[in-house]
Structure 1
Amino acid sequence: MAGAASQHVATKACTECQKRKTRCIVINNGQPCRYCARAGKTCTVSVPPVRTPLTRKNLEAVEARCARLARLVHSLNPTINIEEAIAKDDIASDTIQSIGVSTEGESPTADRADGWREPNFEHVGDSDGMASLPQANNGRAFLGSSSGSFLYQRATQLAGIQAASTSSITGRRDTREQLSLSRASQMFPLPLAEQRLTASFRSAYLVDVYFVCYNVPCPILHEPTFRQGLSRRAGIKQDEWFPLQYQLVLAMGYWIIGGDEGLQVSFYQAARAQLSLECFESGSLSLVQALLLMGNYLQKRDRPNTGYNYVGLAGRMAIGLGLHRRPTDGGTYSNMQLEIRRRIFWTLFSLESGFALTTGRPTLVEETVTDLSLPSNIDDEDPSSVDIRNRPTSCSAIIAQSQLAIIANRLHKDIINGKSALLDLHACKKSVHESFIVWKAQLPRYFFDAGVPDWFRGPRAMVLWKEQNLRMIFWRACRRSNCGYVSSEEAALRASETAIESIRDVSEFHNTNSTLLNQNIAWYSTYFIFQSALVIILGHLEALRTSRPATETTRQNQDMLELARNSLRALSTWTPAAKRCRFVLETLARAVTTTVPNTSATDGPSNDVQMEQVSGFSFPSQTPGDTATNDFLSQMGITGNDTMPDQFDTSFDVLFQQMQNFEGDWTQDFSDLGFNDFS
């Protein structure tokens, strides 16, 4: 009876009683009503939503806010059509939900033995895009006989170093984030809001950075054409793929200045979101440019295999469009349009050749398939001009790089991976060697003159460093086979001499042009210095197999390794890869100092491996690095703590993981050295 007396009709019926249109009888306050308790329903009382009064004042405030948001979106991307973007976003969301596609995680059935998966940008510190560090545990991507990871692996095997158990290296992600924030704070000393920099100003700044620092050595885009598209008002129809190019230019610009990593990734993800399978059901010159940009950006951002795929797509599409041939209806093209086609093809050719040598994979585009002449050394500012300039232009570097790429393809195909008879191999080596000599002799004078514009010094240096690196690879390949062109000892000596020349030239550039450094130059500098240092160490180890190196040679090698170490320390302020490479170099040098195998000069495996002390291969204790100045962009007219992590693991299989994806592959260079003797 007491329970019955406490029953009363609720002031507001619960949801279930409202559906049934019955009275909501509450037994006790805070408990379910009588019906919900009996039926096992959830008894909830809905709260009416808070609604903004529909007045003229409130409506005008919302309209003003929408207008401001639209202006903000247009300032970030002047080409976007907001209505179309909203419609596409709705369609994409509905499609994903309807087919049940998961956007997170990975397939549980993924077979890592026959595939690879590169980690997302949150784990970017686990690899680097130059293919000199062995692969991490993210799958099995093929690295052939010209990948630099094998150079390091063979050096450790020759030194008799046993790989330890796999362990992880921690602290690298934090290092990269701190480096990124440090670099961004140098470029923008105050918070952006305090500087009152609008989004459109920052975008224009990043576009300037891209064309000054990246597009000169790699002219994927034609600057006047791109800026013309950028200046068009929103809503005016333009090239379908210009927004994709624009987002990638911003991402590359942020990468070059070492800016905020989150913004880099957001620009890249905005670009990637515009790609779908439907994109590849048609062909477009501007899409080829965008795919090349995305592929090269991903390589620089430590996604070499993904970047390799994008460059491959660009190559297939370019061939499908006939970029490799002279147009049969040439009258429909202006002189500048024909020139742009040549630039895109030869830039693609150079990038694809570099990727092939980087990964040790076959080249997809051969010089024999094209009848195009090389790009012309003309100015972009005068589109009607066809006069060849006897001074640096935006195409000077790619002309020299394209000629080098032709030599590199012959080196890769006929010598490193060639299976010719000894007589043919002798002729191939002689021809490639002479090609290096002719290439350098035919370079324009401005590749050696001191009085060149500052914007050309970096691209010029990278071209000359590339030639030295290819020559070093050539001599390493000559050492491998006995075709009578040069002796094995002579080839090894020339490889070491070229490595010394490379370290000196790169270090001298940094000393004399420190204000011209940017992340693109630092990326290539790290690779060239590190691979040259490995060649010196490997040459020293190989010499120990037959004789004791001269004291003078050992001292010179030590001096060069110390110079390489100091240069990598300076580069560490720009790229985390330099810090890891310096650590690997120091660890390998210390290991070589304490344990180096000394085998007899006779051929064949030896079970009696004697370990001896090697003098001259040690480094002083580590010292804090210097902070590089960053005056380059202001000098170009664009307005806008180096210690090793304590958690680094010193096991050599972990060092291999640190070395993933630096340029160059050296597997075949060491096939005759019998490294299994020291495993």
Structure 2
Amino acid sequence: MDVYWDYVFPLYPFVDRAQMKAEYYKIWTGDSPQYDENMLMCTFNVIFALASQLADFIVPEEREPAADAFFSRAKGLFQFNLWNTGSTGLIQCLLLMAQYLQSTDSAHQCWIVTGLAIRNAQSLGIHLPQTIARLDSFHEQQLARKIWHGCVLMDRVISMTFGRPAMITKSSSGAVPLPAAIDEEYIPVESSAEAAQPENRPSMMAFYAKSLELYEIMNDVLLSLYKPMSEETAEDAHDFYFSSATSEGERTIFDLDRSLTRWTRSLPSYLRGTSSVSSGNPILHRQSIVLRARFLHVRVLLFRPTLSKYCSVRDSSASDPLDFMHDSFPRRVALQCSIICVKVAQESIDLIYNNVPADGTGGPLPAWWYNILYIYTAATVLIAGRLCSGIIAEVAEAAVTRSWDCALEILRKYQGYSTSARRCVAALEILYEQVMSEGSTAGHTPNQETTDHALGALNDISFGEGMNAAIMDNFEFPDFQDMSWLNSVPSNLF
């Protein structure tokens, strides 16, 4: 329980902490629970499963079986009747289940469970501001906001990871106000009056609100830039690289970058990692690092499509219809976007590398399954960057090599946690070897020993169907004139 309250709850405050602690205490005193006992026991077992994946006192090799034992109990206790109206307790339990399933090879279940949480929340009407306004106390309204936006957050994260369209529309996600940046202990349970955070106490809930704002920008990035588009339809170089927004709600890369800049400026100092307040508070310190990791990942996603297009025409011949782009203004802007993408990928790797504790503990970083995703994404950007002399001229090859070595070192540290890290290392080694061959003289063949080693590692691992395997979905050994491999996480949304 301590692991959950210290490591999970500050990032995902889906439950009422005081209420859950009181119900947990009743288990040991023998008092009757205030809420549905079966659902409570199911929820506690999911919490134990999730915490087992993050507990430093459990060695990495034993975490998965320990977590699976708790989750098996939770599944046995879970009672869901398709024909009955859900409850807030059910939605909270489903959100926690979705969180846990992210750490497993159960992608389909993770996707479905998140969808169930959303549909049950909508059936209760907590996606409507008028429903929340009718609740008796500010405490209940705040909890309802946290639960609905928990559905929004998981919807955005799962969609990004699996490359699938989000279920919750932009208008629906924004209809309910974000949870107030007020910690639970300052919200009276019965009072209908709005509470306030003491001025000298930084709020841990601010992280949740700022994460939700960031993921809404990320959703706009995915909707606007990760859509199927034939390059043959581009009328000019600007459309080819930056595909002007044509559909309602779509935004340009420049507008999205401005939104990210404004979001960064809006952060309180203790979430920027520059305040002495956060450095002296382990939870606030971790929140600042996790938020930075999320921001860097979104920024990579923003510039990656341009990098992909820039690299795809790097060797155009004179007869190529895209040849006119080589000294165009859009081409030069695309080069700068590509350079930024590579530098942000390097920063993402450095952030995680510099905060991975030597003693094997989790440290102040995001959960390990997110670190694997962030590092894999950043590493593929480094590979793409090495294909282009213009990028390497700006970002020193030695610096890219150092970042690459750090990325593989991080993934190898996580190999004991999950097979997904081993899959990523094997796939990246193959990609890297082929890039090196691509950059060499024509007719040069890949180092067969290295390629065979990586292929053997891939063949030895069951890819499964889960979230960890989702990182490797649609992985194919690439034709480097087709840069679709770079955008495989996320893949096209439609």
TM-score by length of 2: 0.75
1:424 aligns with 2:238: no
1:311 aligns with 2:114: yes
Q: Which fold has the larger relative contact order, with Cα–Cα distance below 8 Å and residues 6 or more apart in sequence?
A: 1
Distance 1:501 1:299 in 2: 25
> Structure 2: which amino acid aligns with 1:581?
C
* Distance apart, 1:263 and its partner CA: 3.5
Secondary structure (helix, strand or coil) at the match of 1:424 reads coil
Distance 1:323 1:409 in 2: 21
Distance 2:254 2:473 in 1: 22
- Contact kept, 8 Å, 1:499 with 1:533, in 2: the verdict is yes
1:474 aligns with 2:306: no
- Out of 423, 427, 432, the position equivalent to 1:589 is 432
* Distance apart, 1:353 and its partner CA: 0.3
The aligned counterpart of 1:283 is: 86
Secondary structure (helix, strand or coil) at the match of 1:487 reads helix
The aligned counterpart of 1:247 is: 45
1:371 aligns with 2:175: yes
- Contact kept, 8 Å, 1:572 with 1:579, in 2: the verdict is yes
> Structure 1: which amino acid aligns with 2:352?
V
Moved more, 424-433 or 393-402: 424-433
Q: CA offsets per residue over residues 321-365 of structure 1, 9 Å max, x none?
A: 111222357354211111111111112211110111111111101
**Pair 665,502 (structure 1): closer, same or farther in 2 beyond 3 Å:** farther
> Structure 1: which amino acid aligns with 2:149?
W
Secondary structure (helix, strand or coil) at the match of 1:300 reads coil
> Structure 1: which amino acid aligns with 2:35?
D
**Pair 520,461 (structure 1): closer, same or farther in 2 beyond 3 Å:** closer
The aligned counterpart of 2:321 is: none
**Pair 463,317 (structure 1): closer, same or farther in 2 beyond 3 Å:** same
Where do residues 443-454 of structure 1 align in structure 2 (5 Å cutoff)?
443-447=267-271, 448=273, 449-452=275-278, 453-454=281-282
Where do residues 450-469 of structure 1 align in structure 2 (5 Å cutoff)?
450-452=276-278, 453-469=281-297
1:660 aligns with 2:469: yes
> Structure 1: which amino acid aligns with 2:187?
P
Bigger Cα Rg:
1
- Contact kept, 8 Å, 1:220 with 1:289, in 2: the verdict is yes
Secondary structure (helix, strand or coil) at the match of 2:456 reads coil
Distance 2:120 2:50 in 1: 23
**Pair 614,540 (structure 1): closer, same or farther in 2 beyond 3 Å:** farther
1:401 aligns with 2:211: yes
1:208 aligns with 2:2: yes
Secondary structure (helix, strand or coil) at the match of 2:13 reads coil
1:238 aligns with 2:238: no
The aligned counterpart of 1:361 is: 164
**Pair 567,480 (structure 1): closer, same or farther in 2 beyond 3 Å:** closer
- Contact kept, 8 Å, 2:105 with 2:469, in 1: the verdict is no
Secondary structure (helix, strand or coil) at the match of 1:256 reads coil
* Distance apart, 1:570 and its partner CA: 3.5
* Distance apart, 1:527 and its partner CA: 2.0
The aligned counterpart of 2:133 is: 330
The aligned counterpart of 1:439 is: 263
* Distance apart, 1:316 and its partner CA: 0.9
**Pair 515,651 (structure 1): closer, same or farther in 2 beyond 3 Å:** closer
1:569 aligns with 2:412: yes
Distance 1:450 1:587 in 2: 44
Distance 2:401 2:283 in 1: 34
- Contact kept, 8 Å, 1:359 with 1:663, in 2: the verdict is no
> Structure 1: which amino acid aligns with 2:54?
I
**Pair 335,279 (structure 1): closer, same or farther in 2 beyond 3 Å:** same
**What CA RMSD, in Å, does the superposition of the two structures yield over aligned residues?**
3.8
Structure with the bigger percentage of helix: 2
1:388 aligns with 2:197: yes
- Contact kept, 8 Å, 1:357 with 1:663, in 2: the verdict is no
Distance 1:235 1:410 in 2: 48
Distance 1:310 1:581 in 2: 26
Distance 1:478 1:555 in 2: 23
* Distance apart, 1:238 and its partner CA: 2.9
Q: CA offsets per residue over residues 376-435 of structure 1, 9 Å max, x none?
A: 221222332721356544423211110011101111112212769844369522221111
Secondary structure (helix, strand or coil) at the match of 2:303 reads helix
- Contact kept, 8 Å, 1:216 with 1:394, in 2: the verdict is yes
Distance 1:256 1:428 in 2: 38
The aligned counterpart of 1:553 is: 396
Distance 2:102 2:453 in 1: 26
**Pair 518,469 (structure 1): closer, same or farther in 2 beyond 3 Å:** closer
Runs of 5+ unmatched residues, structure 1? 1-206, 599-608, 620-645
1:532 aligns with 2:340: no
* Distance apart, 1:517 and its partner CA: 2.1
Distance 2:169 2:202 in 1: 27
- Contact kept, 8 Å, 1:430 with 1:485, in 2: the verdict is no
- Contact kept, 8 Å, 2:87 with 2:124, in 1: the verdict is yes
Distance 1:301 1:325 in 2: 33
> Structure 2: which amino acid aligns with 1:250?
F
TM-score by length of 1: 0.56
Distance 2:24 2:396 in 1: 57
Runs of 5+ unmatched residues, structure 2? 189-193, 310-324, 485-494
- Out of 175, 200, 224, the position equivalent to 2:18 is 224
Distance 1:299 1:293 in 2: 10
Distance 2:228 2:289 in 1: 30
The aligned counterpart of 1:499 is: 345
Distance 2:419 2:210 in 1: 29
- Contact kept, 8 Å, 2:427 with 2:454, in 1: the verdict is no
- Contact kept, 8 Å, 2:270 with 2:284, in 1: the verdict is no
**Pair 579,389 (structure 1): closer, same or farther in 2 beyond 3 Å:** farther
Fraction of identical pairs, as percent:
19
The aligned counterpart of 1:273 is: 76
**Pair 208,430 (structure 1): closer, same or farther in 2 beyond 3 Å:** same
> Structure 2: which amino acid aligns with 1:674?
D
**Pair 374,303 (structure 1): closer, same or farther in 2 beyond 3 Å:** same
